Amino acid sequence: MMFDNRTAMDKAGLGRLQQRFDAVRGIGRNHFGLEIGGRMIGYCYIRKNACSSFKKMFLECSPHRALKRPDQRPIDFIRQHHRLAPGALAACDHLIFAYRDPAERTLSMFRNKFIAQTGATDISASYTRIAGQPPEAATFRSFIEGYLGRRFSQLDRHVLPQRMHLQRVCYTDAIPVQNLHAGMCRVIGPELADQYFLQPVNRTSDVPLQPVSDAADRPVQELREIYARDGYMPDNASLLPAGVADRLRRLYAMDYDIIGAAGNAARPA
C-alpha cells in the first residue's frame, strides 16, 4: 500500500528546509535503486527488516556485479553502484520500505548480534563505548534501559527507529515483513520473489526459540552458552517481561505511529 511520509513543510513547498532539518538528524540516508524488467525499483535500506534478502537481490541482479571485489561488503558495493539521490526517488516505478514491529526487530537484532555474534563488530564497539562494559556482560534489560535509553544519535544504526530511515516522499509499497513475499510478488513478480523473499536469508532466522527462565536478566554470555550447547535461544516472552516490553514501546513510539498509519492506509475507505 502507499505511505505518504511528507510533512506539512514538504506539502507547503518548503521541502529544502525540511531536508536540512532531516540531514542534521541523520534521517533517510540509504535509498537504492535497481532496474528490473524495465522498471526502476527503489528501496529504503533498514537494518533488520529483511535487508539480507534485499542485498542478495541487488548483488545478483546488479548490472555491475562483475565489478564487486571479493573483500567488498555487499552494502558497500550497493552504496557504490545503486545509491539514489533524494531527487530521484519520485521517479521510481516502485519505492519500497519494509516495516516490522519494533519489539520483534529489536529481539532479532539482539539474538543475531549479541548472542550469535554475526556481523557484530560495529554494534559491539558502540555498546562497549557507551555502556562501559563488553556485550557479553550485558543483559537484555540493561541493553534496553542503559544503551537504548541514550539519544538515538549516539547509537549504532541497527537500533535506530525505522522512521529515521525514511525520506519525505510517498512510498508506493509499504510492506510488513511478515507479508514481504506476497508484497514483492506484486512488485517484481512471483519468480524473483520466490528466489529472494520466500525464505529468510539471515543466519539466525531458523534458530529454535524456547522459554528460558529470567532470560531478560541473564548475561549475554550465559545465553551464548545455552545457544552453543543446546542450539536454541530465548523466546520472545522470556526476553520481554512486562516492564521491558513497555519500555520498548515508549522508545519506539514513532515507529508504532508509522506502522499504524501504514495499516490505516491499507484499509479500504
Q: Please state which of the ranges 42-51, 193-202, 213-222, 238-247 shows the lowest mean pLDDT.
A: 193-202
Beta strand 94-99 with 3-4: parallel, antiparallel or unpaired?
unpaired
pLDDT, averaged across the chain: 89
Entry pTM: 0.85
Task: Work out the number of other CB atoms within 10 angstroms of the CB of residue 150.
Answer: 12
In three state form, how does the secondary structure of 155-220 look?
CCHHHCCHHHHCCCCEECEEEEHHHHHHHHHHHHCHHHHHHHHCCCCCCCCCCCEECCCCHHHCCH
Q: What is the DSSP letter of 66?
A: G
Rg (CA), the chain: 19
Task: Work out the number of other CB atoms within 10 angstroms of the CB of residue 174.
Answer: 26
Residue 140 CA to residue 234 CA, distance in Å, equals 11
pLDDT in tens, 150-161: 999 899 999 999
Residue 114 CA to residue 135 CA, distance in Å, equals 7
Burial group, residue 71, by CB count within 10 angstroms (0-12, 13-18, 19+)? exposed
pLDDT in tens, 86-143: 889 999 999 999 999 999 999 999 999 999 999 999 999 999 999 999 999 999 999 9
Q: Per-residue pLDDT for 26 more than 90? A: no
Backbone angles phi, psi at 44, to 5 degrees: -90, 115
